[in-house]
Amino acid sequence: MLAFDILKPSLGASSAQELDLYEKATQRIGRLSGVEGVALGSFVPWRDAGQFGPGVQFTVEGFTPENGEENPRARLRIVSPRFFAVLGVPMFDGRDFTSEDRAGNELVVVVSQSVAQRLFPKRDALNRRMWWTDPYFGPPAPRRIIGVVADVDDENVVGRPALAVYHPVQQMRVAGRLFVRAVGDPYALVTPVTQIIHELSAQQPVERAATLEDIRAEVLAPERVNAFVLSGFAIVALLIAVVGVAGVLAFSVSARTREFGVRLAIGSAPRHLLMRVLLEGALIVGVGVVAGAVGGYAFSGVAATYLENVQLPGVMATFGAAAVLASAAIVASLIPAVRASRVDVLQALRSE
């Protein structure tokens, strides 16, 4: 999926001429070899995150806010017909926009599933009316809901339920983004797509061509660097803990050679000796792991009062670290205990 910025030039044509250019361009681009679908939109997922604020307030017929409750906010998106099919967004109910949804005809919108579930939990959202309450849009203009699509969290890489309202581009007369679904190498289409648009309007800018996959990787790059660095520090810390635990237990067991000799001399079996040492080592590391986990979670709660975005480690990470420490403790206890259980009794008794 290729995304292009096709912003309106500073000395460009009117909105009607601009839409006519986009319509001709999408028709010609759709006939290119290797193009599966073409659509227009107003927002490139992830790359345009945060450009339009927290959303716009709106309401629907039959919805009455409770005392002190504000009208809900939704992301306003402007799309062309077949936008949802091209981007692979499932439509749960109703219909997509068509060429008939243009200026002068009935105002219509498509809403996300979260809008339908939140504002129409027991009723059908189709054919209900909604309108924006933000003063920027002037007097309220009711728009009929003609479709319900799956939630698309186009601002966060880790998707969450998203309230969104989609307008047809022919009624809002603004787009700014071109989406091309490619078969094969998507970047091979950048040049022919750019040429087609420039043949229709030499002043029309075509910028920042990139696949959604590469856009996602670019947005995630800082997070990946942070994760790599922090993971490195975490691994070093875990290794230090493993070496410390193993060293302390190995020294403790090695220092008990005379004790092992006495136990062997009075008839203790080597396997009983080994089991006793392993249980003692497991007890020590178990107490340490529990104390460390409790202290770590308590400290994270204190740190959260001073720092933002403090997240506790997941269950798998916690149990993984505990398992590594427990394994190191068992090995550290086992090796010197096996060595001690195999020495001559008299030699063990003379160790001191």
Same domain flag for 114 and 160: yes
Q: What is the reported pLDDT for 11? A: 43
Same domain flag for 23 and 133: yes
> Rounded to an integer, what distance in angstroms lies between the CA atom of residue 268 and that of residue 204?
90
Instruction: Report yes or no: 145 and 131 within 8 Å, Cβ to Cβ.
Output: no
The number of domains in the chain is 2
pTM above 0.85, yes or no: no
Same domain flag for 169 and 41: yes
Output the CA torsion 20→26→29→35 (10° steps): 180
Q: Which long-range CB contacts under 8 A does 103-106 form with residues at least 24 apart?
A: 103/170, 103/171, 103/173, 105/171, 106/144
Same domain flag for 233 and 168: no
> Rounded to an integer, what distance in angstroms lies between the CA atom of residue 211 and that of residue 191?
14
> Rounded to an integer, what distance in angstroms lies between the CA atom of residue 131 and that of residue 13?
29
Domain final residue, candidates 210, 228, 243: 210
pLDDT along the chain (352 residues), means of 10: 80 66 90 93 88 83 76 91 93 92 91 90 84 82 93 84 91 86 92 92 88 91 89 87 79 76 80 80 83 86 80 82 82 74 69 56
Phi, psi of 92, rounded to the nearest 5 degrees: -85, -30
- CA of 351: how far to CAs of 218, 273, 291, 336, in Å? 64, 18, 35, 14
Same domain flag for 52 and 69: yes
Q: What is the reported pLDDT for 343? A: 67
Structure tokens at 314: 């997941």
List the one residue out of 82, 230, 212, 71 whose CA is nearest residue 137.
71
Same domain flag for 145 and 237: no
> Rounded to an integer, what distance in angstroms lies between the CA atom of residue 289 and that of residue 112?
46
Q: What is the reported pLDDT for 79? A: 93
| Host domain of residue 284 | 219-349
- CA of 345: how far to CAs of 325, 349, 352, in Å? 32, 6, 13
Q: What is the reported pLDDT for 122? A: 72
In degrees, rounded to 5, the angle at the alpha carbon of residue 272 between the alpha carbons of residues 266 and 274 is 115
Structure tokens at 276: 């006793």
Same domain flag for 45 and 70: yes
Same domain flag for 9 and 156: yes
Domain final residue, candidates 175, 193, 210: 210
